[in-house]
Structure 1
Amino acid sequence: MKSKNQPSLINLKLMVLSFFFLLVLYVILRSNYSSFQPIRRSSYPSFLSICNKIPPSLATSLVHYATTNVTPQQDLYELSRTLRVLEKKSPCNFLVFGLGFDSLLWASLNHRGRTVFLEDDKNWMKMVKKQMPSLEIYHVSYETDIKQADELLYKGKSGECKVVGDPRSSKCPLAIKNFPSIVYEIEWDVIMVDAPVGSYNRGPGRMNTIYTVGLLAKNKEDGETDVFVHDIERKVEDTFSRAFLCDAYITEEIGRLRHFNIPSHRTIASSHTPFCP
């Protein structure tokens, strides 16, 4: 999820800053509107002081992106799609695979919610943590190699990989069982898959990550999970997301971002739902 390139850096940075200012204005207006009560003239000063206070997480993000020469990996259109979902669901539980220059942005968009990041590069993790100490980050490790993609896709067609349940008890070789316990214990509302590394035939690839995310979403107690997969122009991200997050659950594709809305398979109404409808 580290920065891949920085084309038109200045223009993109201006767009991101404008995006942030609009976000801050939206959050403030929404907060004031929902909590508005008729007030006496004598109480105006305290009311105005509340109106003018920007949430700390958003203020930190504005300062960060205004004073650095880096920009988020996703473009404005891709960011806007995730923002629309977070507008409806936040504060919520948001799981993000990978750390990058957009991490502070995700945490800020989920204002008052819980945003958790998973990263396998310890050095990169320390660097980001130093610059953004407020982020909740956990180190993870992957045991696959992207060169195993075809083999894993074949294994994923077996019956044991079509069983929905807790990934820790799954018999499917694609299920990841060594994540921090928090990953399995929290009911996630939104999940972003933008890691691990899996380009140019190097790195662990996202095969098992995508499969495990599908289990987490389908095994949710109730409700739907919005899952975003980035870099869908690549073979692994495209093939594995369609196979294990399911074509039927795709709601939209914008640029290199694919959005899935996955319902729980544990509800009574969907108790006999196939792995992919």
Structure 2
Amino acid sequence: MRSKTQYPINVKLLLLGFFLAFLLLFILRSSYSSSQQYPPPISETQTHSSKASNPTEEVEESTTCPPTQTCTKIPPSLAQALIHYSTSNITPQQTFKEISVTLRVLEKKSPCNFLVFGLGHDSLMWSSLNHGGRTVFLEEDKAWIEKIKQRVSSLESYHVEYNTKVHQAEELMKIGKGEDCTAVGDPRNSKCQLSLKGFPSEIYEIKWDLIMVDAPTGYFEDAPGRMSAIYTAGLIGRNREDGETDVFVHDVDRVVEDKFSKAFLCDGYLREQEGRIRHFTIPSHRANLGKPFCP
């Protein structure tokens, strides 16, 4: 989730251009909605007719701004994001094409509920793209949370702990194939060792439309790894009452992210892969208890 290397300047320009395009689209949409909401102004013919029927009355011209103008202001979160990324020397870790995979879903579903494993330099971007919705970040490093909050206090984030290590991945994969792990239910009540149970209670109660797994750290043997995060994201999607959850996993070029996303988010639910990111659509299993864990 955090940027460890600086991308070339053209990626930064692409991101800035993307935000400007998003802003233009927002303004055009607001203007169109406003024109449909408010009646058209009185025509010139109607005005002259009114004057003729009431010659002693003067038609007063409004000196106040029409209410439609307030609809075209830049949302504060978007304005903050534009300034942040145009003045920062650090760019998001995902490439433009990888970001676009999630963006296409957000364009259809936002404003929505968006859960992100990881807090990083791209967090303000995700929050801004889900303008009007709720975007929550789960982060393993308390000190990192405080550092990001000093720069962007508006982000909603929570500290979480993981009790796994990357070197345990093979053993956890075997455990994940057992009956306890293929049973669908509330992650808090799951008997599966992969299920994460220490989140704030509302994380389990909200119906998440999108989930991004871009944390915890997973690039060395003693790091927590994303085994449990991937499994729990899939379980949350299956346990919703109805509908479906779009789950994105980043860094699938690594062994853990590759194997665990295929095993617990399922090849049959895979919708797209671009570079190092995969997009899965997980349907509700509560509406059909006989549905197999993977299709």
Above 0.5 in TM-score?
yes
1:109 paired residue among 129, 132, 147: 129
Residue correspondences, number = 274
Question: For the residues of structure 2 that align with 1:140 and 1:81, how far apart are their CA atoms?
Answer: 27
Give 1:41-120 correspondences, 5 Å limit: 45-46=65-66, 49-120=69-140
Shift of 1:99: 0.8
Q: Which amino acid aligns with 1:80?
A: S
Residue equivalent to 2:144: 124
Which secondary structure state, in structure 2, belongs to the residue aligned with residue 50 of structure 1? helix
Structure 1 length as normaliser, TM-score? 0.95
Q: Is the 8 A contact 2:166 2:220 kept in 1?
A: no
Q: Which amino acid aligns with 1:233?
A: D
Give 1:1-277 correspondences, 5 Å limit: 1-8=1-8, 10-37=9-36, 38-40=39-41, 45-46=65-66, 49-267=69-287, 270-277=288-295
Q: Which amino acid aligns with 2:206?
A: I
Moved more, 25-34 or 15-24: 25-34
Shift of 1:48: 6.0
Residue equivalent to 2:48: none
Which secondary structure state, in structure 2, belongs to the residue aligned with residue 218 of structure 1? helix
Which structure has the larger Rg over C-alpha atoms?
2
Q: Which amino acid aligns with 2:289?
A: S
Question: For the residues of structure 2 that align with 1:134 and 1:110, how far apart are their CA atoms?
Answer: 13
Shift of 1:45: 4.0
Q: Is the 8 A contact 2:111 2:130 kept in 1?
A: yes
Shift of 1:166: 0.3
Structure 2 length as normaliser, TM-score? 0.89
Shift of 1:47: 5.0
Question: For the residues of structure 1 that align with 2:181 and 2:218, how far apart are their CA atoms?
Answer: 22
1:150-171 Cα offsets, whole Å, 9 max, x none, are 0000111111111000011111
Aligned identity (percent) is: 61
Q: Which amino acid aligns with 1:6?
A: Q
Q: Is the 8 A contact 2:91 2:122 kept in 1?
A: yes
Question: For the residues of structure 2 that align with 1:162 and 1:173, how far apart are their CA atoms?
Answer: 12
Q: Which amino acid aligns with 2:153?
A: P
Structure 1: 4+ residue segments shifted above 6 A: 41-44
Shift of 1:136: 0.4
CA RMSD of superposed structures (Å):
1.5
Which secondary structure state, in structure 2, belongs to the residue aligned with residue 7 of structure 1? coil
Question: For the residues of structure 2 that align with 1:205 and 1:247, how far apart are their CA atoms?
Answer: 21
1:2-24 Cα offsets, whole Å, 9 max, x none, are 1132231x211111100100011
Which secondary structure state, in structure 2, belongs to the residue aligned with residue 252 of structure 1? strand
Question: For the residues of structure 2 that align with 1:158 and 1:63, how far apart are their CA atoms?
Answer: 49
